[in-house]
């Protein structure tokens, strides 16, 4: 420590390095699921369905049945249970909590630039930094297997994501605090990572061009209709539908949006006040979120000037039983804080409020130039580049919401940690496939319900 009492970067690097004595870097490849009692993934899935909209739970199961990768995406609670017994250095960050490769992508910053970053924070919570990395690395092995890559390619891709994280953290340890806070990954940097992959470069440019069109105006064209001078969201059951009017009354909506408005900065309250709420509907989203209460709300400033907000239920983080209690008592606020802490720039309408029956919600814009990689179309070279990109983005987020020097000191210069997490990712992907088979049998036997027909179920279970 310096004479002024400041804990220097050198101090923090040394402190991180010292943690290897207690938790060797190669130990991260040794423990996959732990030994805490009987591991019952059907029970874990059933527990995660508690208080969801029960008519949508079969839709959730059907989406998870599509493939081991879809099952993995919907199984954040399962891996959280498993991660609790894995080795950790003791270095905490504000973690994403559901850090798989599909939860990264591009979106518009308030300045209307496009940034690449983590884009899902439903499970965010202070937790060991290794947990995000292990979920990310495992997601690449599971995805690579879905794309029929060779086993050695799948492992190399996972290791690449971890190596990129380690190398970026080593570099970022030299950053000043404000330099770290302001840093971001823009689209020029993203495309630069694929300059030697012509196919990926062309596809990336196409995704970016399409993403720039994903605004409230575009959503308005696709999701609404006008009749007798009134604009309404079009029902598309079972994925978009209007809730029971007795359950979601105009008075309750007024109370909710008034409470949400108070969580916005004053200038954004003034912006929101220029719009009038026109309609609200339920919308099924994602895989893991299916069955939670997710709404889309249409606001209008003029007949051709729409704003779509997404109102999403925020439940307790899947990490909370194994990390520590949330530092705030509102899960919507927890999500907002985590997003603002980890993202380089966040949505200007990001806020939170209590909903009916005391449920927590957070609010953001719907599809504001949101874009994502199409993982199913990636070859091994492209996925390797994408793995590196996700590793860089995660390092930036953990640096902003943690201590880059301590993490860099622990990880070091060599690839011991990378290789250990590569071993973990392969072993955990094996476990995912076993769990998927168990899940499929539970659906077939009726222990878990699915909306799939018998023929579709038989096809999914081949």
**Per-residue pLDDT for 454 more than 70?**
no
Give the pLDDT band of residue 459 (cuts 50, 70, 90): low
pLDDT computed for residue 195 by the predictor? 84
Q: CB-based contacts of 304: which residues, under 8 Å, 6+ apart?
A: none
pLDDT computed for residue 2 by the predictor? 54
Dump pLDDT digits (tens) for 70-88.
999 999 999 999 999 999 9
Give the pLDDT band of residue 193 (cuts 50, 70, 90): confident
Average pLDDT value for the chain: 91
Between 156 and 215, the higher pLDDT residue: 156
Give the pLDDT band of residue 356 (cuts 50, 70, 90): confident
Dump pLDDT digits (tens) for 408-423.
999 999 999 999 999 9
Report the share of the chain in percent with pLDDT over 70: 96
Between 229 and 360, the higher pLDDT residue: 360
pLDDT computed for residue 207 by the predictor? 79
**Per-residue pLDDT for 328 more than 80?**
yes
Dump pLDDT digits (tens) for 221-265.
889 998 777 899 999 988 899 988 777 889 999 999 999 999 999
The pTM (predicted TM-score) of the whole model is: 0.93
């Amino acid at each position: 420590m310096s004479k002024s009492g400041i804990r220097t970067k050198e101090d923090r690097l040394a402190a991180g390095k010292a943690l290897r004595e207690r938790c060797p870097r190669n130990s991260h490849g040794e423990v996959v699921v732990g030994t805490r009692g009987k591991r019952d993934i059907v029970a874990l899935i059933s527990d995660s369905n508690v208080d969801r909209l029960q008519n949508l739970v079969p839709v959730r199961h059907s989406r998870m049945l599509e493939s081991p990768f879809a099952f993995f995406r919907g199984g954040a609670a399962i891996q959280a249970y498993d991660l609790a017994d894995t080795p950790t250095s003791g270095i905490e960050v504000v973690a994403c909590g559901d850090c798989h490769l599909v939860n990264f992508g591009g979106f518009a910053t308030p300045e209307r630039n496009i940034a690449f970053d983590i884009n899902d924070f439903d499970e965010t919570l202070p937790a060991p930094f290794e947990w995000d990395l292990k979920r990310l690395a495992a997601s690449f092995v599971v995805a690579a297997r879905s794309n029929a890559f060779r086993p050695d390619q799948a492992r190399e891709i996972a290791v690449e994501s971890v190596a990129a994280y380690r190398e970026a953290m080593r570099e970022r340890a030299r950053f000043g605090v404000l330099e770290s806070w302001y840093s971001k990954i823009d689209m020029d940097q993203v495309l630069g990572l694929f300059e030697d992959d012509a196919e990926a470069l062309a596809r990336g440019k196409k995704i970016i061009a399409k993403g720039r069109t994903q605004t409230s105006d575009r959503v308005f064209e696709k999701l609404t209709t006008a009749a007798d001078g009134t604009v309404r969201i079009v029902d598309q059951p079972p994925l978009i539908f209007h809730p029971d009017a007795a359950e979601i009354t105009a008075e309750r909506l007024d109370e909710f949006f008034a409470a949400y408005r108070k969580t916005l900065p004053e200038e954004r309250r003034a912006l929101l006040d220029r719009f009038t709420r026109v309609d609200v509907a339920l919308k099924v989203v994602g895989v893991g979120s299916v069955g939670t209460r997710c709404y889309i709300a249409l606001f209008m400033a003029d007949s051709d000037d729409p704003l779509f907000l997404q109102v999403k239920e925020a439940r307790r983080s899947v990490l909370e039983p194994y990390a520590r209690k949330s530092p705030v008592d509102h899960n919507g606020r927890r999500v907002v804080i985590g997003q603002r802490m980890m993202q380089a720039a966040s949505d200007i309408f990001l806020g939170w409020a209590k909903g009916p029956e005391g449920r927590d919600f957070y609010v953001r814009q719907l599809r504001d130039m949101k874009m994502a990689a199409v993982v199913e179309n990636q070859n091994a070279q492209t996925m390797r580049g994408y793995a590196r990109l996700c590793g860089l983005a995660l390092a930036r987020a953990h640096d902003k919401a943690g201590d880059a020097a301590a993490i860099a000191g622990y990880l070091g210069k060599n690839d011991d940690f990378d290789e250990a997490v590569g071993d973990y990712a392969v072993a955990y992907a094996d476990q995912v496939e076993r769990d998927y088979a168990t899940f499929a049998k539970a659906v077939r036997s009726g222990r878990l319900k699915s909306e799939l027909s018998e023929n579709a179920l038989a096809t999914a279970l081949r």
